[in-house]
Structure 1
Amino acid sequence: MAAPLSADRLLAALRAEGVKVVEHDGWRTHNRNGHGAWGPVHGVMIHHTVSTGTTSSVRICNDGYSGLPGPLCHGVIAKDGTVHLLSAGRANHAGGGDPSVLQAVISETYGARPPVPREHQGSAGAVDGNARFYGFECINLGNGSDPWPAEQLDAIARVSAALCRAYGWGAKSVIGHSEWSDWKSDPAGPGMPGMPAVRERVQKRLGQDPAKPKPLAPKPAPPAYEPFPGAAFFKAHPNSPLVTAMGRRLVAEGCSRYRSGPGPRWTAADRQSYAAWQRKLGYSGTDADGWPGPASWRALRVPKTTR
């Protein structure tokens, strides 16, 4: 059963994938959870807004309209690739759809496209997509004349890959609204390569380190952040500038349990502070024991140090 991510874990997953995120007021608790199930989740659904302008599009998706209250998605993907987060719970974005498509997404056994949908909101055999999918609205009129910039397409791939990576899904867990419901056409328009091509982009990202685009130059630039040094590094109680850099990031994230410092020697205060960071990401129990792991370390983004 794929439980929904906490708001902190959703945010961390997006940032770890290099997504530029804007957190809108109240997004962590703005949802439709009292009006139907939220989870188990099985995939990501991509839409277009049929609107223009970032401010107005975000407002519509946040507030909804007569007959369809907001939020209308989990995030709005702007033309410049910025993702505006509006919800971490159930959102009115997918409506009813075809159960055969849901099963194909869960199994990830279909070819280039899932089965042709034959159900929609209100039809007898439809299933509730709002409970099963994360939804992202992309600002586009969908009228055949509104282009899809490269930055927006890159953000679609990054957002989708972030959630797939968090759950261990493949790219076939990402579908368009038109692949879910037989009366929808989104996403569409000039420059939108189609969902099979979108899934190819997502799969390529899943083969790369998150937050690092594929280098264009023959010699890649040094990474901006420290790679995970391995759990054994910390359990050996190191004395290293890396520990200081990590501690400073924990302080910046509001997870400090230090009485002084932080300093280069790994101490119980470092472990307690890191455990607070793990809990902030939504981990609990033995997953929040204070020993760094690759996913939480990646989300922390410790700057490069001289060692």
Structure 2
Amino acid sequence: MATLCSAGRTNHAGLMARNAYESFLNEASAHPAPSKASGTVDGNDVAYGIETENLGDDKDVYPRVQYDAWVLINAAFCRAYGWSAESCGCHKETSIEGKPDPRGPVEGYGTRGRFAFTPKQLRADVEERLKHPASWSPGTTTPAPKPPTTEERLTSLEKRVTALEKKG
């Protein structure tokens, strides 16, 4: 789930290194480490912010559905403005204030079921999504849970009725 929480300027990005900002603006194929020496740009004025909850300790796992939403949102911005995936950046690539995120593995992704989140992988996944229609979904998403059987639904209903009768 994603929630649009502002339709104007927000304080999400902080100061961005000018060299990093320009590499994303120009959709460079390689993004330099942020450098204070290059000057700064108010990232809150020039960048969309997608805040994603995580402890940022390299251990807290991003749920796969959360990561997939992140890719979808970035791809939607790219489609709307005609940008490539190289316009997608993360705090740790732009911040001169030491914002280290994103940090942590993504559930159900990679050869061992997880991978450490990297902006390069995010851009690769956004790029893959941009090759397809907006309605496309990759086959690697987590399958929907099995619906309950009739017996399980009846048992659940009986428990709720019994609980209501006790309250009544």
TM-score of the two chains, using structure 1 as the length reference: 0.40
The root-mean-square deviation of aligned C-alpha atoms, in Å, is 1.7
Match of 2:33 in 1: 116
What is the CA distance between 1:125 and its match in structure 2? 2.2
Q: Between Structure 1 and Structure 2, which shows a larger proportion of helix residues?
A: 2
What is the CA distance between 1:190 and its match in structure 2? 2.4
Instruction: Tell me how far apart the structure 2 counterparts of residues 215 and 171 of structure 1 sit (CA, whole Å).
Output: 20
Instruction: Tell me how far apart the structure 2 counterparts of residues 204 and 128 of structure 1 sit (CA, whole Å).
Output: 30
Say whether 1:194 aligns with 2:111.
no
Partner letter of residue 106 of structure 1?
L
2:81 corresponds to which of 155, 159, 167: 167
Match of 1:60 in 2: none
Say whether 1:106 aligns with 2:25.
yes
What is the CA distance between 1:131 and its match in structure 2? 0.7
What is the CA distance between 1:208 and its match in structure 2? 0.8
Partner letter of residue 128 of structure 2?
K
- 1:108 and 1:170 in contact (8 A); partners too: yes
Instruction: Tell me how far apart the structure 2 counterparts of residues 213 and 135 of structure 1 sit (CA, whole Å).
Output: 23
TM-score of the two chains, using structure 2 as the length reference: 0.72
Equivalences for residues 88-237 of structure 1 within 5 A = 88-111=7-30, 114-119=31-36, 125-182=39-96, 183-191=98-106, 192-214=116-138
Instruction: Tell me how far apart the structure 1 counterparts of residues 28 and 3 of structure 2 sit (CA, whole Å).
Output: 32
- 1:208 and 1:214 in contact (8 A); partners too: no
SS across alignment from 1:138: coil
- 1:161 and 1:206 in contact (8 A); partners too: yes
SS across alignment from 1:127: strand
What is the identity percentage for the equivalent residue pairs of Structure 1 and Structure 2? 38
Match of 1:46 in 2: none
Instruction: Tell me how far apart the structure 2 counterparts of residues 214 and 142 of structure 1 sit (CA, whole Å).
Output: 27
Instruction: Tell me how far apart the structure 2 counterparts of residues 215 and 136 of structure 1 sit (CA, whole Å).
Output: 24
Structure 1 portions without partners, runs of 5+? 1-81, 217-307
What is the CA distance between 1:110 and its match in structure 2? 2.9
